[in-house]
Amino acid sequence: MPNAASYFEIPVTNMQRAIAFYSYVFEVNFEEDIFDDLEMAYFPIDETAQGISGALVKGEIYKPTQEGVLIYLTTSNIDRTLTRTLERNAITLFPIHRHENAGFAVAEFEDSEGNRIGLYQKL
């Protein structure tokens, strides 16, 4: 079986605010679209790289929350990325924890929309 996850969607209530937040934090550009009557903003994807990508989504059934599924977004510098979340008024929910023996670090924050989002860095 391939990796279980193939795509993710992060609920937003204010698309422009969410795009501004995630663009700043991860230093990426988003491609905006309307798909099935939903406002979408797609994270960049490199089809030749490992891992998955996803989108910010605004629609009636999408409700930001700190409960439920927790997605971890990959970063090459967890310290810098978490600092950039704070520069955009995010709240740290779980400070950086380095698992040296396992070879990774994680942290969690509340984004501009009220979602609990994880950060993951391979050490």
56: Cα within 13 Å, side-chain hemisphere: 26
**φ/ψ bin of 115: left (φ > 0), alpha (ψ from -120 to 50), beta (otherwise):** beta
Convert the pLDDT of each residue in 20-40 to its tens digit: 999 999 999 999 999 999 999
Whether the model clears a pTM of 0.75, i.e. scores above it, the answer is yes
Can you tell me the distance from the alpha carbon of 43 to that of 81, in angstroms, rounded to the nearest whole number?
16
**Amino acid in the structure at residue 55:** A
- Higher-confidence position of 47 and 107: 107
